[in-house]
Amino acid sequence: MSIELLVAVPILMLCVVAIVQFGLELAGAVIIHQSAVLGAGRCSTIGRVIWSDLDDSTAAAVQLQLTAVNITFTAATDVQVIVQERVFDPATSYTGSSGTWPSGATFAAAPAASTIPADSVRVTVNVRLTKVIPDLLSGFGFNITGDYITASVIRPYNG
Amino acid sequence: MRIQLTIPSSSPDPRSGVATLWMLLVSLVFVACMQYVLETGWMMVVRAQAQAVAESAALAGARSWGTAATDNAANRTTAKTRATDFVVNSAVNGLTTEYANLLMSLQNSDNAGGTNNNPASPGGCPGTSVSSNLVIFADFDPATRVFSPYVSPASAGRRACMVQFQLTAVSPITQVSRTFQARAAAYWDSAAAPNRSRLVSVTVSCP
């Protein structure tokens, strides 16, 4: 009986912790998506401007949402905000600008710009998983270091 | 007379295997719980994404119609196409297939001969239920928030767009097909500086 329990309990604990961790991860995905919505909303009202004018206010909108739910970050390796805009018709040719905030954040490549409708902006927010959820499964050999949650939102220019 | 019962040491412990059996049964419950948690979380994510898509489409449609120099059928078709583009180019689970499947029905909601290019009979008053995929234009009263699809012409400051759709996507967790509904309405605010489209909640009015 004791030996069986020694085998069974860690497996059951793994199940419980996995349920909690995946639940938190998906809840975090909704929050990251919401921050991308706010960032895209902010970005879309600025209009057709060059990237250097876009980054601060967009990043501020994203940060505001993230810090409101206690997702804080200090390094460029924790969060990445990618802004891509298409400022030219037809939609088959991408003419626009893009940029990444903070400038040192390079842990995820920018998504393809080909699906952005004309006169629109896409904001992609990538956040390291370790900043969103506790690494509860590391003791069982599952490490989330290096993984991240991503969310993209496209908004038409609106200003 | 005293009888002493002894169990031979070679006989199995009657409780042997209980923990294994218990673990197997409880594991089934845990797997079901895990599926429930993951499925619910996935549905929350897709629902939030679908709502953002509907909002972007409504904003784009309202802007395109609101900025049209002339309110005619061709410009309304262009504006509806603009709204549709935002929906059909979106992705769920990293795939655009599910949203692309909405293209035909959204295009069908553009009726060049109808009032505000709206379908003559889109299965009842459009916007009152999310039972069909529609891009609806309407006259919108910012004061009362009444959205009237069959009032025309709408002045530049009262042009509004509602986008609604039903998205069917297969859950990557349970492989079950799920349906998500999203709806958003926006109007072109020509009084704002600069002019812009705004998301609004509406009350739909039909004749």
Each residue's pLDDT tens digit, A45-63: 875 554 555 556 677 777 7
pLDDT band at B59 (very low <50, low <70, confident <90, very high): very high
Task: Quote the number of domains for chain A.
Answer: 1
Cβ–Cβ under 8 Å, residues B39 and A19: no
Least confident residue range of A81-95, A125-139, B15-29, B111-125: A81-95
Average pLDDT, chain A: 77
Give A71-111 pLDDT, tens digit per residue: 776 666 788 888 887 766 544 444 555 666 666 666 777 77
Q: Which residue of B has its CA nearest to A25?
A: B41
Alpha carbons A61 and A74: distance in angstroms, whole number: 16
List the domain range (segments joined by +) for residue A107.
2-156
User: Which residues of A are less than 8 Å from B44 in CB distance?
Assistant: 26-27, 30
Backbone angle region of B127, left / alpha / beta, with phi > 0 → left and psi within -120 to 50 → alpha: left
The pLDDT of B35-53, averaged and rounded, is: 91
Alpha carbons B16 and A2: distance in angstroms, whole number: 10
Given this model, what pLDDT does residue A92 score?
45
Question: Shortest CA distance to B163 belongs to which of B150, B178, B152, B147?
Answer: B147
- Is the pLDDT higher at A99 or at B86? B86
Least confident residue range of A72-81, B63-72, B81-90, B162-171: A72-81
User: Which residues of B are less than 8 Å from A18 in CB distance?
Assistant: 34
- Note the ipTM here: 0.80
Size of interface A-B (CB pairs under 8 A): 102
Cβ–Cβ under 8 Å, residues A56 and A64: no
> Which residue of B33, B35, B39, B49 to mutate against A (max A Cβ within 10 Å)?
B49
Which pTM was predicted? 0.83
* pLDDT more than 90, % of chain B: 28
Pick the most confident of B43-52, B90-99, B100-109, B124-133: B43-52
3-state secondary structure of A147: coil
> Which residue of A7, A19, A89, A123 to mutate against B (max B Cβ within 10 Å)?
A19
Alpha carbons B147 and A9: distance in angstroms, whole number: 59
DSSP 8-state symbol, B86? H
